[in-house]
Amino acid sequence: MRQPAGRSARRSGGERKPREERWAELIEVATQVFYEKGYDGASLQDIADRLGMLKGSLYYYIQSKEDLLFDVISSVHKDGLAVIRARAGVEGPPLFRLRSVIVGHVEHTCRNLVPTAVFLHELSALPLERRVEVLGSEHAYQGVFRDLIESAQQAGDVRSDLDPRLAALSVLGSTNWVYRWFRPGGSFTPEQIGAELAELTIRGIATEQGLGTV
Amino acid sequence: MRQPAGRSARRSGGERKPREERWAELIEVATQVFYEKGYDGASLQDIADRLGMLKGSLYYYIQSKEDLLFDVISSVHKDGLAVIRARAGVEGPPLFRLRSVIVGHVEHTCRNLVPTAVFLHELSALPLERRVEVLGSEHAYQGVFRDLIESAQQAGDVRSDLDPRLAALSVLGSTNWVYRWFRPGGSFTPEQIGAELAELTIRGIATEQGLGTV
């Protein structure tokens, strides 16, 4: 996460809250406002109003509305990527790790519905340079899925006629889509959804040999 | 599609184009502006400017910006639904029809990337009543997929431990997601994508018996 502007400056106001807490609150409110009104429809005034701050005071933390969007988007992306990279990096057959990556990704999405929606809907509002900074030039997220599918294919665990890029995009679609329909307390828990989407994916791509590894 | 307001009134301006053509052009431009600026960030002034019209002249066709969004969204939804319903309604085993539905849905999405993005990103900007009017109270789109999967399950062609609702949401995610990554002239044609996503789905859900039907 980028440091808020002025983080090291002396506080001039009469606020009681530590700056880090104020910053976290600002990001949380900005996420909600971008979600409700869309990035273009949201103003710094809206965000200041909801925080009970003067709009001018926001410039103590940020230089522009775009800085807020960048932070919302890069935080949720970075956190999710850390989850799936950790699960992809353990010991074990690639399809076994792919199952764990899918479950972890679905659980992360279910726990972060609003920031995920802002990420997916508003990424294009960032200038190209900052988009690349978030995603990585190789689309890091997609790469984790594709690399596991490729490894499994090389081991004979995934059908040889399958294109690992298409398969990765299919899994990403199926799992990311959860942000649109998951409701806490609804018919399915994040764990159930993760397990079922992993099962569907693995049966879709695996050879007989591969099914024996998971 | 709703009739534009004033469609039956006498034309008062000096326009050369027939009203239907003007209306189609208005919807096309509105779709593009909503896509680029987001619904909340887009104004009727933006749309009028791009059409080379006075903003006031738009009220000859619509009563509000919301009317335009409703038309963009309901048109692409209605067209796509007609495509998949036609394919779901033919003769044949349910998994055979599901394959055709998936291919048709992917091709429709690839041919309608911009309206699909507006539909998926801006649906929530419509009041609940109009959202229900678009989707149907039972989420008609999802229902086509779920019904086919249920029929296949009853015939023993789909695993009995699978929840048809979850499976339908998984397919919808995998296929809808195409709107985010498909590029005309890129590595894959809509036909290739449709065929591969259908194959992944069917292998993911089918029994041995079911695989024999497709």
| CATH number of the A19-63 domain | 1.10.10.60
Per-chain mean pLDDT for chain B: 91
pLDDT band at A138 (very low <50, low <70, confident <90, very high): low
CB contact, 8 Å: B201 with chain A? yes
pLDDT for residue B108: 97
Give yes or no for B23 touching A (CB within 8 A).
Answer: no
- Region B91-100: what's the mean pLDDT? 97
Tell me if chain A has a CB within 8 Å of the CB of B171: yes
What does the pLDDT average to over A121-149? 90
Of A1-15, A145-159, B88-102, B140-154, which range is least confident?
Answer: A1-15
pLDDT category of residue A69 using cuts at 50, 70 and 90 = very high
C-alpha span between B110 and B89 (Å, rounded):
22
- Grade residue B1 by pLDDT with cuts at 50, 70 and 90: very low
pLDDT computed for residue A136 by the predictor: 81
pLDDT at A9 over 60: no
Cβ atoms within 10 Å of B119's Cβ, excluding its own:
23
Residues 24-43 in B contacting A (C-alpha not used; CB under 8 Å): 37-42
Q: Considering only CA atoms, which of B133, B139, B126, B134 is closest in space to residue B69?
A: B126
Q: Does residue A101 have a pLDDT over 50?
A: yes
| One-character DSSP codes across B90-126 | SSS-HHHHHHHHHHHHHHHHHHTHHHHHHHHHHGGGS
Answer whether B204 touches A (CB < 8 Å): yes
Q: What pLDDT does residue B9 have?
A: 43
User: How far apart (Å, rounded) are the C-alpha atoms in residues B46 and B54?
Assistant: 10
Q: Inter-chain contact A197–B166, Cβ cutoff 8 Å?
A: yes
Neighboring chain A residues of B169 at a CB cutoff of 8 Å = 177-178, 181
pLDDT of residue B21: 87
pLDDT at B162: 96
pLDDT (0 to 100) of residue A148:
98
Instruction: Look at A177 and B197 and tell me if their CB atoms are within 8 Å.
Output: no
Percent of chain A with pLDDT over 70: 92
Q: Does the distance separating the beta carbons of B193 and A166 come in below 8 Å?
A: yes
User: A149, A174, A178, A187: which to substitute to probe chain B, counting the most B Cβ within 10 Å?
Assistant: A174
pLDDT at B112: 97
Q: Is A173 on the interface with B (CB under 8 A)?
A: yes
3-state SS, residue A62? coil
Residue of B nearest to A176 (CA): B173
How buried is A114 (Cβ within 10 angstroms: 0-12 exposed, 13-18 middle, 19+ buried)? middle
Tell me the pLDDT of chain A averaged across its residues.
91
Strand (E) positions, A28-87? none
pLDDT exceeds cutoff 80 at B10 = no
Q: Which residues of A touch B109 (CB under 8 A)?
A: none
Q: Which fold has domain A69-211?
A: Tetracycline Repressor; domain 2 (1.10.357)
Q: Please report the pLDDT score of residue B137 as a whole number.
A: 63
Closest CA to B151 of B89, B86, B78, B77: B89
Question: Any idea where the domains of chain B sit in the sequence?
Answer: 19-63, 72-211
What's the CATH code, domain B72-211? Answer: 1.10.357.10
How many pairs of residues across A and B have Cβ atoms under 8 Å apart? 97
Q: How far is B199 from B214, CA to CA, in rounded Å? A: 10
